[in-house]
């Protein structure tokens, strides 16, 4: 790898002429060879920006610059085209902008087929989640410019760390089912691959501000220099989003940035991208009881304690405080009409903690020794603790693409290395025993290596038939050491090798109708939480069959897709959560998801369009065995948790004039269970929610190119609904039970906001 970096740097040195005060490229390259791994990509990115700032004296070249095409190469290895036998939906920058008023990306995708979203704070800012076809977020693969974004250990996606990232998205593609081979932890039911802002030919500026209910505010500043000397661009964004949240004290303060430097000519695109930020979010992950839901649905138990006078208080700093910075370097090269390559490097640095006030905690939880105070033994204390994550994540992707009139083939690989520290501190205690401030009461480390290689091809057999093949081999090694938060040794050393074949066929009946069929195999490793809860946890396997029809004629389009997803040891939600609000999963033996997805765009009049979608499905565990009242009970075939049978959406879009668009957005989600037992107490009721969105663009001849007014009223009919929750059980002694034991149940709910609004003003210049 050092040789590769050195060759790249010396090639750049020969190509560019530096001013006398510029840094020596040779000196930088020698420094790189001695650099620590953490600094390697940071150094490369810095060199790139220095290079851009030093090359303004270049002579103009007249080559045709295909910026959009070269930008799209960044995600070609993980995306599919319109003719592929993969079920997918594309979302453009223009579509995202219509509702981009500060809510997280999952909320902006709420009206896509088979999607159910939720928000801990209730209003779409802060911790949000997305389930696709009922599949857990941990099983949805997320990439940004082809770089894996899922957390390497939890496998989840923390959108809260990407505040206002939607403002820097050029496009995204949501693939339902296994989809195509991707980088990072494999897609196990869905994938979302994101392409960040494309290179802009023209200089632009943008100031965007929005305000709304719950004191929600978003302030964004963006710029691009456009192409300098036809080859160089620098672009960036600064954002701040804040909200008090619908739920009490569920506040969020999200600061973020995005910076991009690019060099482009007719055959080359080199991009350095830096983005990240800091989030401070008051915890709202504990949910509320059914009684609280009826009487005070905005109540938040987080931070609650009783003072010395017996009064209920709430700790003011019960927050999650986390920072994450991403450094990416991409090089796309087109050699001729047939061959092109892409290389991507990434370094991510994450660090932060969540802070909690704990009332009357046992000394044993922290390894404290008993005290004697005024002759009395003391072994509990009030305290404030922080649980920390400090991690580094390195990625290198490489792929080559060959295409001609008959075949489009991509082959390549990805390697990532994760190194994460987990530790806890007590920063204050009423009785601190033998501990000192910031002593670590637990301390552990985890390392994960993920290597995959793939080859995929679309082969045009004739004018009507296109064949698709995709082979991937993935190796995962996960090792942990030290002590976890329960003060128990946590030692995992697992190695998995997965083979994931995929194949499909597309048949073009005519210019307006395509039919496709595909089969895909997926395997996925358990997460850290699963290993902690069940040392015998098994990886999950999926065989996915998709059969579809796509019809297009003029502005009308219709698609129908049927799917059968057959699982072995699927990791499904149990209904329970851990002490930080994360949903717990466990193996479920054999299970399946069977459904049909319908999607259409219907122009009913020149200025009126309908955009409906509907998913009908059945999602079952073939056999569910649970402990109940002191004995094992076989419940037979049961619904998979958090998997509604009906999910539907519609957009009524009215555009009376070119610059004005009004949309009524509707979403229906059928009833679902929060556990796999079909216990009535675990049922979430169905809900039907409607939003109203309006955008108006005013073209001006002044300093601003345009002024865009945006309005969004969410839940216009004031529906009181719940889209997420948890359900668990506990055993207690019962002399009246034949076994001497009875089982009790508990549940929690995350209510979503009633009617609320957001309005925004964007100045483009």
Residue among 450, 443, 465, 364 at smallest CA distance from 414 = 450
pLDDT digit string, tens, across residues 575-604:
777 766 677 888 999 999 999 999 999 999
Token look-up 């009913």 returns 604
| The pLDDT of residue 675 is above 70 | yes
In angstroms, the CA 144 to CA 142 distance is 7
Token look-up 């070269």 returns 70
Rounded mean pLDDT of 645-674?
97
pLDDT digit string, tens, across residues 89-131:
999 999 999 999 999 999 999 999 999 999 999 999 999 999 9
HSE-CB for 584 with a 13 A CA cutoff: 19
Handedness of CA 701, 702, 706, 707 (dihedral sign): negative
Q: What is the pLDDT of residue 581?
A: 67
Between 20 and 444, residue with greater pLDDT: 444
Q: What is the pLDDT of residue 70?
A: 76
Token look-up 């923390």 returns 158
In angstroms, the CA 657 to CA 303 distance is 51
| Domains of the chain with CATH codes | 2-53 (no CATH), 67-196 (2.170.130.10), 204-764 (2.40.170.20)
pLDDT digit string, tens, across residues 628-654:
888 889 999 999 999 999 999 999 999
Q: What is the DSSP letter of 135?
A: B
What is the chain's Cα-based Rg? 27
Query: What's the token pair of residue 605?
Result: 């009049």
- Decide if 759 contacts 212 (C-beta within 8 A): yes
Residue among 196, 204, 195, 343 at smallest CA distance from 268 = 343
Beta strand 189-196 pairing with 140-144: parallel
Q: What is the pLDDT of residue 716?
A: 98
Query: Per-residue DSSP letters for 233-298?
Result: EEEEEEEEEEE--SSTT--EEEEEEEEEEEEE-SSEEEEEEEEEEEEEEE---S-B-HHHHHH-TT
pLDDT digit string, tens, across residues 216-274:
999 999 999 999 999 999 999 999 999 999 999 999 999 999 999 999 998 999 999 99
Q: What is the pLDDT of residue 293?
A: 96
Query: What's the token pair of residue 74?
Result: 């960044």
What three-state secondary structure class fits 682?
helix
In angstroms, the CA 226 to CA 187 distance is 36
Q: Where are the alpha helices (DSSP H) in 329-395?
A: none
Please name the residues in contact with 308: beta carbons below 8 A apart, sequence gap of 6 or more.
none
């Amino acid at each position: 790898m050092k040789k590769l970096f050195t060759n790249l740097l010396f090639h750049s040195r020969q190509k560019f002429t530096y001013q006398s005060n510029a840094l020596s490229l040779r000196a930088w390259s020698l420094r790189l060879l001695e650099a620590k791994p953490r600094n390697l990509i940071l150094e490369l990115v810095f060199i790139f920006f220095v290079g851009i700032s030093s090359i303004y004296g270049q002579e103009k070249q007249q080559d045709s610059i295909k910026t959009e095409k070269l930008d799209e190469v960044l995600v070609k290895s993980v995306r599919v085209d319109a003719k592929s036998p993969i079920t997918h939906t594309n979302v453009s920058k223009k579509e995202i902008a219509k509702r981009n008023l500060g809510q997280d990306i999952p909320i902006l995708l709420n009206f896509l087929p088979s999607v159910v979203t939720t928000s801990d704070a209730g209003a779409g800012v802060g911790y949000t989640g997305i389930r696709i076809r009922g599949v857990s977020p941990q099983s949805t693969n997320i990439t940004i410019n082809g770089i894996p974004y899922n957390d390497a250990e939890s496998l989840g996606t923390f959108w809260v760390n990407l505040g206002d990232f939607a403002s820097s998205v050029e496009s995204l593609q949501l693939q339902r089912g296994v989809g195509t081979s991707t980088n990072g932890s494999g897609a196990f039911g869905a994938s979302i691959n994101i392409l960040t802002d494309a290179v802009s030919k023209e200089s632009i500026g943008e100031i965007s501000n929005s305000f709304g209910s719950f004191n929600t505010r978003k302030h964004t500043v963006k710029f691009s220099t456009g192409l300098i000397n036809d080859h160089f661009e620098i672009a960036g964004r600064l954002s701040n989003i804040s909200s008090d949240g619908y739920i009490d004290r569920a506040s969020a303060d999200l600061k973020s940035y995005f910076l991009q430097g690019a060099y482009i000519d007719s055959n080359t695109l080199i991009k350095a991208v830096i983005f990240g930020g800091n989030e401070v979010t008051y915890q709202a992950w504990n949910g509320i009881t059914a009684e609280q839901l009826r009487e005070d649905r905005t109540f938040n138990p987080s931070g609650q304690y009783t003072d010395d006078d017996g009064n209920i208080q709430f700790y003011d700093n019960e927050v999650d405080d986390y920072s994450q910075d991403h450094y990416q370097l991409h090089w796309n090269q087109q050699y001729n009409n047939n061959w092109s390559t892409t290389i991507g490097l990434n370094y991510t640095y994450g660090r932060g903690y969540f802070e909690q006030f704990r009332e009357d905690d046992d000394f044993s939880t922290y390894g404290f020794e008993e005290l004697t105070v005024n002759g009395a033994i003391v072994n509990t204390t009030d305290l404030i603790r922080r649980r920390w994550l400090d991690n580094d994540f390195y990625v290198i992707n490489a792929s080559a693409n060959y295409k001609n009139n008959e075949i489009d083939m991509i082959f390549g690989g990805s390697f990532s290395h994760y190194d994460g520290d987990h530790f806890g501190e007590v920063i204050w205690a009423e009785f601190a025993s033998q501990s000192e401030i910031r002593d670590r009461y637990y301390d552990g480390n985890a390392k994960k290596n993920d290597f995959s290689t793939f080859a995929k091809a679309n082969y045009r057999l004739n004018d009507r038939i296109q064949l698709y093949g995709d082979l991937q081999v993935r190796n995962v090694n996960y090792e942990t050491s030290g002590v976890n938060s329960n003060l128990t040794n946590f030692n995992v050393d697992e190695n998995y090798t997965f083979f994931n074949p995929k194949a499909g066929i597309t048949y073009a009946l005519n210019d307006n109708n395509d039919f496709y069929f595909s089969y895909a195999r997926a395997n996925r490793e358990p997460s850290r939480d699963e290993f902690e809860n069940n040392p015998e946890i098994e990886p999950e396997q999926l065989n996915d069959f998709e059969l579809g029809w796509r019809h297009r004629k003029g502005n009308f389009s219709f698609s129908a897709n049927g799917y059968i997803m057959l699982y072995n040891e699927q990791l499904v939600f149990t209904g329970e959560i851990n002490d930080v609000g994360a949903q717990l999963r466990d193996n479920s033996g054999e299970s399946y998801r069977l459904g049909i997805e319908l999607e259409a765009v219907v122009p009913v009049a020149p200025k009126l369009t309908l955009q409906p979608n509907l998913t009908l499905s059945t999602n079952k565990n073939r056999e569910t065995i649970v402990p109940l009242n002191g004995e094992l009970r076989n419940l037979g075939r049961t619904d998979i948790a958090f998997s509604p049978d009906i999910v539907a959406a519609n957009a009524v879009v009215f555009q009376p004039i070119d610059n004005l668009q009004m949309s009524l957005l509707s979403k229906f989600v059928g009833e679902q269970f929060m556990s796999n037992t079909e216990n009535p107490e675990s049922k979430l009721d169905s809900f039907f929610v409607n939003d109203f969105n309006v955008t108006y663009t005013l073209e001006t001849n002044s300093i601003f190119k345009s002024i865009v007014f945006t309005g969004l009223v969410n839940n216009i009919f004031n529906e009181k609904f719940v889209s997420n929750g948890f359900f668990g059980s506990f055993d207690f002694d019962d002399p009246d039970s034949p076994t001497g034991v009875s089982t009790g149940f508990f549940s929690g709910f995350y209510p979503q906001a009633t009617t609320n609004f957001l309005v925004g003003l964007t100045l483009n210049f």
